[in-house]
């Protein structure tokens, strides 16, 4: 089983706003990335099929496959890393998540299913799942607050 990361997408209001931000923050060859100070010690496990799961507005809403974890030195001389992603943001079945700092390891068995996969499971079980199209984050927060998500 692959190991994943989970991270808050601070400032993002939706999956679309995260995608727009990433479109303006790419490497010279057009690759999406995110910088962070702390380097994961379990790099090999993460790069063996792992993803980064994005928490947006208090809900895990999307993921991106990790392509590489590259050490960098910032302009001020501090060491950091760049998480390099495969291009598409993949929507996942929304799940509540409390705020935390930095990133955390995220086991495969804890990760929410992709929406396409969730739709297949929902058909088999008769449970409703969010549509493939973007669900309004305000509605998702209200459903979460009511205990329905």
Q: Read off the pLDDT of residues 52-94 as tens digits, 9 standing for 90 and up.
A: 999 999 999 999 999 999 999 999 999 999 999 988 899 999 9
Secondary structure (3-state) at 25: coil
Convert the pLDDT of each residue in 12-21 to its tens digit.
999 999 999 8
The model's pTM is: 0.78
- Residue 93 contacts by C-beta under 8 Å, 6 or more apart in sequence? 112, 113, 114, 115, 118, 129, 130
**Per-residue confidence (pLDDT) for residue 132, from 0 to 100:** 42
Convert the pLDDT of each residue in 130-140 to its tens digit.
554 456 666 76
* Closest of 116, 128, 3, 124 to residue 53, by C-alpha: 3
Asked whether the beta carbons of 2 and 108 are under 8 A apart, the reply is yes
**Taking the CA of residue 132 as centre, how many other CA atoms within 13 Å lie in the half-sphere pointing to its CB?**
4
With cut-offs at 50, 70 and 90, classify the pLDDT of residue 2: confident
Convert the pLDDT of each residue in 18-58 to its tens digit.
999 888 877 667 788 888 999 999 999 999 999 999 999 99
The secondary element (H helix, E strand) that includes residue 94 is strand 90-96
């Amino acid at each position: 089983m692959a190991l994943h990361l989970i991270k808050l997408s601070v400032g993002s209001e939706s999956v679309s706003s995260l995608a727009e931000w990433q479109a303006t923050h790419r490497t010279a060859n057009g690759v999406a990335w995110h910088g962070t100070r702390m380097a994961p010690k379990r790099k090999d496990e993460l790069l063996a099929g792992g993803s980064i799961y994005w928490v947006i507005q208090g809900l895990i809403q999307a993921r991106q496959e990790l392509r590489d974890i590259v050490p960098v030195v910032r302009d001020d001389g501090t060491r950091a890393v760049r998480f390099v992603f495969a291009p598409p943001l993949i929507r996942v079945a929304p799940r509540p998540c409390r705020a935390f700092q930095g990133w955390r390891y995220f086991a495969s068995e804890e990760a929410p299913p992709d929406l396409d996969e969730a739709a297949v499971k929902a058909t088999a079980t008769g449970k409703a799942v969010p549509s493939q199209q973007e669900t309004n984050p305000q509605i998702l927060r209200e459903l979460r607050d009511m205990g329905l998500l």
